Amino acid sequence: MFSKWNWIFRFSKGHHLGLFILISLIIGIQILIYWHKNKEVEVLPISKEELAWIASQNEIDSLVTCQIVDGNKIYPFNPNFITDFKGYKYGMTLAQIDKLHQFRRQNKYVNSAEEFQNLTGVSNEWMKQYSPYFKFPDWVTQRKNNKFINYDTKFKANSSRIIVKDINVASQEELESVYMIGEKTALKIIAEREKLGGYASMEQLSYIWGISPEAILDLNKKFAIQSNIGLKKIRINDSTTKELAQFPYFNYAIAKNIVTYRSMNGDFRKIDDLTNVKLFPVEKLKIIALYLEF
């Protein structure tokens, strides 16, 4: 029986020493691992100044979190003009976005966060996150903040003593006195007037994007066409494509079609001849006729 284990006793002293060192290393490593796992973590005391700094840093982090959505800062915006992309980005459903767009296609606006939620049906959590960034026009904000002014009543009360003014010489301040017209819309009216050299019909104001039907009604009460001396007339039979394209109611394609038709069929003799031109805006024919010379 001892002959089977006889090979152990054939090791030299060097082999015995090596085995002893190896076994000692294994035991030592196991002791170190056990000691490290059971060692108590030393907790360093925190001063009052460090606690105050941590609290202030947490507050700063919370403010930054409120202003960041997926890494993008949220800027104040008018919820009436939320696009498909922005609505999807802010977590609105397609049905909620469609409700808003259908409402806007009727030329209607929401004027408060409550109206927006009632219309779209977004959740309270959504409103809590995004409604602080809603920005409505100044006239809406002023109407909410001033409890003593009823703008509808104000405009109706003043309607009986309105002095009608010339739209072609109206100033920005006079235009801003119109119901639902602010600075940007007033500047649009003036810019369009300068392009045309003056308005020939009050109907032209309805072609300017962004003017509500209510504003058009009040404009017609307060203003009229009283002078048209500066109208920029267009010689329809002599003007080049480039010159025709500068007219606000034409674009380059329409101008090119007018010149092409004229070269193939001769001069235009009356306004109705222009209805034969491809892409011509027939719905504005009567207005355009006021700016043409044959």
| pLDDT tens figures, 237-292 | 999 999 999 999 999 999 999 999 999 999 999 999 999 999 999 989 999 999 99
Q: E strands within the chain?
A: 68-69, 72-73, 165-166, 223-224, 234-235, 292-293
Is beta strand 292-293 parallel, antiparallel or unpaired with respect to 234-235? Answer: parallel
Binning pLDDT at 50, 70 and 90, where does residue 144 land?
A: low
* Position 43 pLDDT exceeds 70: no
Question: Does the model's pTM come out above 0.85?
Answer: no
Best CA proximity match to 121, nearest among 103, 99, 136: 99
Can you give the pLDDT at residue 48?
58
For residue 288, the model assigns a pLDDT of 93
- Across 99-103, 166-170, 192-196, 253-257, least confident range: 99-103
Q: What is the pLDDT of residue 39?
A: 56
Under the banding of pLDDT at 50, 70 and 90, the label for residue 51 is: low
